[in-house]
């Protein structure tokens, strides 16, 4: 694919290593993890042994100090083999990013180093039953007391919450200030007062567990505030923005796997005396799929490049998330169509990919939220009279 032209030799070597691991160790168990909703804790440990859990973490905190492009490659290779494993992997990075960006030196040494080494699994606890895209409406509260911060509330759809060792948890320290009243807290998952539901029964990405978390008079030390008080809303957005690049990479990975399966099926399936790949309708579908995937990958790698340059990559990340997730779903739908009835059966890998890819249009900001974000950027160039600045 054309995207390979932008990669260095080090990128290519890293891809080869992760690809071999993913195809040999991850892919064979993907169907069973989906069927039985099994968390891939064993694979998480193996990734830790490969130093793959600290790709973008600075070397002084136990990471590899590599670029976002390398992380995108890792998500692609793991996602091609199993979306659940890639989602666990990306979710760990989502939790770590807050520590990398906003942790003080002591917090980084204590938590980020352990996370980069795979000794501590991270989870990101932001969403609430009444606070999804509108995080300013969250109801969880944190009150400063002599003993520490006393936190109460409820979180929902929190990936790997029970499997993690620590939550990056958001709550309001000023209930009247909306978005600006949110603060971020480091909450170890063995803290008294945390109550986890059973794993939620998801349609797809079933090998990554999601939970409802009840927070009942949870007390953490004052030093467990991450970043300044009241800066949690900004912190959350600064963490979610790069995670949209990871989500885009996962959508691309699922789409690439779906296209390969569709091409193989079209080669093996014979109708009217010849493989169905020889029919123009199938050729047109495969051509569209290839185009959609390449477009998704190009905007994803461009967003990764802009992030690493240190500029404002928010627009690029939203574009990548929107294009890749929407294109990816279209690709998987076309792949299922090429498979016909066999693709609709539960034993078909395409059926699993169809369920898995649907989630990516919802999390880390829905497709509609990405468009609204982009539209604000477009209209901001004009004054109240419609004149271009």
Q: What is the pLDDT of residue 383?
A: 73
- C-alpha 77/C-alpha 18 separation (Å) is 6
Q: 95 and 180 share a domain?
A: no
Q: Show which of 88, 121, 154 is a domain's final residue.
A: 121
Tell me whether residue 94 is in a domain: yes
Is the domain of 11 the same as that of 100?
yes
Has residue 308 been placed in a domain?
A: yes
pLDDT average, residue stretch 262-267: 97
* CATH at residue 139: 2.40.110.10
Q: Do 148 and 83 belong together in one domain? A: no
Instruction: Provide the H-helix boundaries in 41-123.
Output: 41-49, 68-81, 83-102, 105-107, 113-116
Share of the chain above pLDDT 90, in %: 91
The answer on 286 and 263 residing in a single domain is yes
215 and 240 share a domain? no
- Rounded mean pLDDT, 262-291: 96
Q: How many domains does the chain have?
A: 3
Residue 292 lies in a domain: yes
Q: What is the pLDDT of residue 281?
A: 96
Please check whether residues 256 and 182 belong to one and the same domain. Answer: no
Residue 252 confidence (pLDDT) above 80 = yes
Q: What is the pLDDT of residue 2?
A: 53
Tell whether the model's pLDDT for residue 133 goes beyond 90: no
Give the per-residue pLDDT at 132. 85
Residue 386 lies in a domain: no
Using CA atoms, how far apart are residues 72 and 56, in angstroms rounded to an integer? 11
Chain segment 303-327, per-residue pLDDT in tens:
999 999 988 899 999 999 999 999 9
Residue 188 and residue 134 in one domain? yes
pLDDT band at 1 (very low <50, low <70, confident <90, very high): very low
Residues 68 and 143 both lie in one domain? no
Q: Are residues 165 and 57 in the same domain?
A: no
d(CA 247, CA 41) in angstroms, rounded, equals: 21
Let me know if residue 60 belongs to a domain.
yes
Q: Are residues 26 and 113 in the same domain?
A: yes
Is residue 387 predicted with pLDDT exceeding 80?
A: no
pTM: 0.94
The last residue of one of the domains, among 121, 144, 162, is: 121
pLDDT at 152: 98
DSSP 227-295: SSTT-HHHHHHHHHHHHHHHHHHHHHHHHHHHHHHHHHHHHH-EETTEEGGGSHHHHHHHHHHHHHHHH
Domain endpoint, select from 101, 121, 141: 121
- What is the distance, to the nearest Å, from the Cα of residue 346 to the centroid of all Cα atoms in its chain? 25
pLDDT at 356 over 50: yes
Contacts of 227 (CB under 8 A, 6+ apart): 98, 102, 183, 184, 235
Are 6 and 87 within one domain? Answer: yes
Mean pLDDT of the chain: 95
Domain hosting 341: range is 234-379
The CATH number covering residue 271 comes to 1.20.140.10
pLDDT at 4: 55
Q: Which of 128, 212, 351, 364 is catalytic?
A: 364
> Quick one: 145 and 51 in the same domain?
no
pLDDT digits (tens, 9 = 90+) for 62-99: 999 999 999 999 999 999 999 999 999 999 999 999 99
In the residue annotation, 364 being an active-site residue is answered as yes
pLDDT digits (tens, 9 = 90+) for 137-153: 999 999 999 999 999 99
- CATH code of residue 64: 1.10.540.10
Dihedral over alpha carbons 277, 279, 281, 283 (to 10 degrees)? 40
pLDDT, tens digit, 9 for 90 and up, residues 147-186: 999 999 999 999 999 999 999 999 999 988 999 999 999 9
């Amino acid at each position: 694919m054309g995207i390979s032209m932008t990669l260095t030799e080090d990128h290519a070597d890293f891809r080869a290593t992760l690809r071999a691991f993913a195809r040999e160790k991850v892919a064979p168990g993907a169907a069973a993890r989906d069927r039985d909703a099994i968390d891939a804790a064993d694979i998480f440990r193996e990734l830790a042994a490969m130093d793959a859990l600290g790709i973008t973490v600075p070397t002084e905190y136990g990471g590899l100090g590599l670029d976002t492009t390398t992380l995108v490659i890792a998500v692609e290779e793991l996602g091609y083999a199993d979306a659940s494993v890639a989602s666990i992997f990306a979710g760990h990075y989502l939790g770590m990013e807050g520590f990398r960006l906003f942790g003080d030196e002591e917090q980084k040494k204590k938590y980020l180093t352990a996370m980069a080494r795979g000794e501590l699994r991270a989870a990101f606890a932001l969403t609430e039953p009444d606070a999804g895209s509108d995080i300013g409406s969250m109801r969880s509260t944190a009150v400063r007391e002599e003993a520490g911060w006393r936190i109460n509330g409820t979180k929902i759809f929190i990936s790997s919450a029970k499997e993690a060792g620590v939550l990056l948890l958001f709550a309001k320290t000023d209930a009247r200030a909306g978005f600006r009243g949110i603060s971020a807290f480091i909450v170890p998952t063995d803290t008294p007062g945390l109550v986890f539901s059973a794993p939620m029964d998801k349609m797809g990405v079933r090998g990554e567990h999601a939970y409802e978390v009840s927070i009942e008079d949870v007390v953490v030390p004052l030093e467990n505030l991450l970043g300044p008080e009241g800066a949690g809303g900004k912190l959350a957005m600064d963490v979610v923005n790069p995670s949209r690049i990871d989500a885009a990479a996962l959508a691309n990975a699922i789409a690439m796997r779906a296209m390969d399966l569709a091409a193989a099926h079209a080669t093996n399936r014979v109708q009217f005396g010849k493989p169905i790949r020889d029919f123009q309708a199938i050729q047109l579908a495969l051509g569209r799929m290839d185009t959609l995937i390449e477009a998704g990958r190009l905007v994803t790698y461009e967003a990764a490049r802009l992030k690493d340059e240190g500029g404002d990559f928010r627009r690029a990340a939203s574009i990548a998330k929107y294009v890749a997730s929407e294109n990816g779903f279209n690709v998987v739908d076309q792949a299922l169509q090429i498979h016909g009835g066999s693709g609709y059966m539960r034993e078909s890998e395409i059926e699993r990919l169809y369920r898995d890819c649907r989630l990516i249009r919802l999390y880390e900001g829905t497709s509609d939220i990405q468009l609204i974000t982009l539209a604000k950027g477009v209209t901001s160039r004009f004054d109240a009279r419609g004149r271009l600045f």
